[in-house]
């Protein structure tokens, strides 16, 4: 039996590609193991999948700023390397696929020690710190944005495109309307603040609700623990997040207001949903979402509001402009045909697992 080990975690974006890849691997008879952290979102998402064995390891965060934890976390990473080494010796995979995140670093180092080929995937325009550390030990690095190739050695970088879960394309508009108890008389706006939600985005959206619900129906994915039951009105539904219902919710969405994580915005692109993107600021991140959002705005897929500029009037005006330009956005999105990146990725896995 062909054996593969997957890794990646820390955010939903670092798991989404693996979730898309797993059904393809199963169909082709692969035995699948997964290394993730003890308490990351990857464990919650992966452990419930049948026939995928999850292995938790110790992991530390690689911070770019001063923190007392920076003195402790290298020892966690070293422990994770030792744990990964033992798991790889036991599982004996013929190849490893890494979606990135801090948990992937000890796995890739252990793979190099065991001479196991690694294919990694970088979703953002600029590589994250974990992928930068891991790049010298990877056989190939797949990228989503063409701009990312400028950051990689020519012999390692491959322009692949975004990996989209097939089930997202099978949603039902009617099922989405029924799930949210909406009718078909008003267009639907979907608000997504990322897996942890966004306090500022949530606040601005809720302040705008009396105005928005006159013209639109609003479904708000506000993040874990951020549902506010004091906001209860016709045409507005809020959830911490949705999982099985997400394809249906996306199928009924006319405009999405979102952070600018690469996986999410490429999912919207594949479904041709016009976007207003509010990237995380440089004070809250390394600036990768700003680059992602700017790339999409330049290609005519989205409007961008920088977090520092976010206010009720600004968002209200952006919504009006986006609805006026929806046809233009959809035309631009329809031109973005990059084939089937998931099939290309699987071909690479087959190729390098034989070497």
Task: For residue range 50-70, list pLDDT tens digits in order.
Answer: 999 999 999 866 555 555 565
Task: For residue range 72-104, list pLDDT tens digits in order.
Answer: 667 888 899 999 999 999 999 999 999 988 899
Q: What is the CATH number of domain 167-334?
A: 3.40.50.2000
Counting Cα atoms < 13 Å in the Cβ hemisphere of 127 gives 22
Q: What is the pLDDT of residue 297?
A: 95
**121 close to 17: Cβ distance less than 8 angstroms:** yes
Which of 177, 154, 193, 220 is CA-nearest to residue 277? 193
Alpha-carbon span 42 to 257, nearest angstrom: 25
The three-state secondary structure class of 133 is helix
Report domain extents, the chain: 2-161+339-353, 167-334
Q: pTM for the whole thing?
A: 0.76
Q: What is the pLDDT of residue 354?
A: 66
Would the pLDDT of 204 be above 80? yes
**283 close to 307: Cβ distance less than 8 angstroms:** no
**Contacts with 33 (C-beta within 8 Å, 6 or more apart), sequence order:** 3, 4, 5, 6, 52, 53, 54, 55, 87, 91, 93
* Overall average pLDDT of the 186-203 stretch: 84
Would the pLDDT of 355 be above 60? no
**104-113 and 73-91 are packed helices; what angle lies between their axes, rounded to 10 degrees?**
50
Alpha-carbon span 220 to 226, nearest angstrom: 10
b/e sequence 13-27, b meaning 16+ C-beta within 10 Å: bbbbbbbbbbeebee
**253 close to 263: Cβ distance less than 8 angstroms:** no
Task: For residue range 290-332, list pLDDT tens digits in order.
Answer: 999 999 999 999 999 999 999 999 999 999 999 999 999 999 9
Residue 182's pLDDT band (cuts 50, 70, 90): very high
2-161+339-353 with 167-334: one CATH topology?
yes
Counting Cα atoms < 13 Å in the Cβ hemisphere of 254 gives 19
Helix, strand, coil content of the chain in percent (nearest 5): 45, 15, 35
Task: For residue range 97-137, list pLDDT tens digits in order.
Answer: 999 888 999 999 999 999 999 999 988 887 777 778 888 89
Q: What is the pLDDT of residue 154?
A: 87
- Fold type of domain 2-161+339-353: Rossmann fold (3.40.50)
Residue with the bigger pLDDT between 248 and 153: it is 248
Q: What is the pLDDT of residue 68?
A: 52
Work out the number of other CB atoms within 10 angstroms of the CB of residue 277: 27
Task: For residue range 250-286, list pLDDT tens digits in order.
Answer: 999 999 999 998 888 999 999 999 999 999 887 766 7
Q: Provide the H-helix boundaries in the chain.
A: 13-27, 41-46, 73-91, 104-113, 129-134, 173-180, 199-215, 246-251, 262-270, 288-298, 312-324, 326-334, 341-353
* Overall average pLDDT of the 194-210 stretch: 83
Distance of CA 184 to CAs 174, 175, 176, 217, 260, Å?
9, 12, 11, 9, 28
Q: Which residue has the tokens 């600029």?
A: 126
Task: For residue range 208-231, list pLDDT tens digits in order.
Answer: 999 999 999 999 999 888 888 888
Q: What is the pLDDT of residue 132?
A: 83
Distance of CA 76 to CAs 61, 79, 250, Å?
9, 5, 39
Residue 13's pLDDT band (cuts 50, 70, 90): confident
């Amino acid at each position: 039996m062909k054996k593969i080990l997957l890794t990646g975690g820390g955010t939903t974006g670092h798991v989404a590609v693996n979730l898309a890849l797993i059904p393809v691997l199963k169909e082709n008879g692969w035995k699948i193991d997964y290394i993730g952290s003890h308490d990351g979102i990857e464990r919650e998402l992966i452990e419930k999948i049948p026939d995928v064995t999850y292995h938790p390891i110790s992991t530390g965060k690689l911070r770019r700023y001063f923190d007392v934890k920076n003195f402790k976390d290298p020892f966690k990473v070293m422990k994770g390397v030792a744990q990964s080494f033992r798991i790889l010796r036991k599982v004996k995979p013929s190849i490893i696929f890494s979606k990135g995140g801090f948990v992937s670093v000890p796995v890739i180092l252990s793979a190099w020690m065991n001479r196991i080929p690694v294919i990694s995937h970088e979703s953002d325009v600029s590589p994250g710190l974990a992928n930068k550390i891991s790049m010298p030990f990877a056989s190939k690095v797949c990228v989503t944005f063409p701009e990312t190739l400028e950051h990689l050695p020519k012999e390692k970088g491959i322009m692949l495109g975004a990996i989209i879960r097939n089930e997202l394309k099978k949603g039902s508009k009617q099922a989405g309307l029924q799930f949210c108890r909406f009718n078909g008389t008003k267009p639907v706006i979907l608000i997504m603040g990322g897996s942890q939600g966004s306090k500022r985005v949530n606040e601005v959206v809720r302040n705008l609700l009396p105005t928005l619900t006159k013209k639109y129906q609003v479904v708000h994915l506000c993040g874990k623990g951020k549902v506010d039951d004091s906001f209860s009105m016709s045409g507005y539904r809020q959830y911490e997040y949705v999982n099985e219902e997400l394809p249906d919710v996306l199928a009924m969405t006319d405009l999405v207001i979102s952070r600018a994580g690469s996986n999410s915005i490429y999912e919207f692109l594949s479904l041709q949903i016009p976007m207003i993107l509010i990237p995380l600021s440089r004070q809250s991140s390394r600036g990768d979402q700003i680059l992602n959002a700017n790339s999409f705005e330049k290609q005519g897929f989205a409007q961008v509001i920088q977090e520092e500029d976010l206010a009720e009037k600004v968002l209200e005006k952006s919504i009006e402009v986006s609805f006026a330009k929806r046809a233009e956005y959809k035309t631009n999105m329809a031109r973005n045909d990059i084939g089937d990146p998931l099939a290309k990725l699987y071909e690479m896995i087959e190729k390098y697992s034989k070497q």
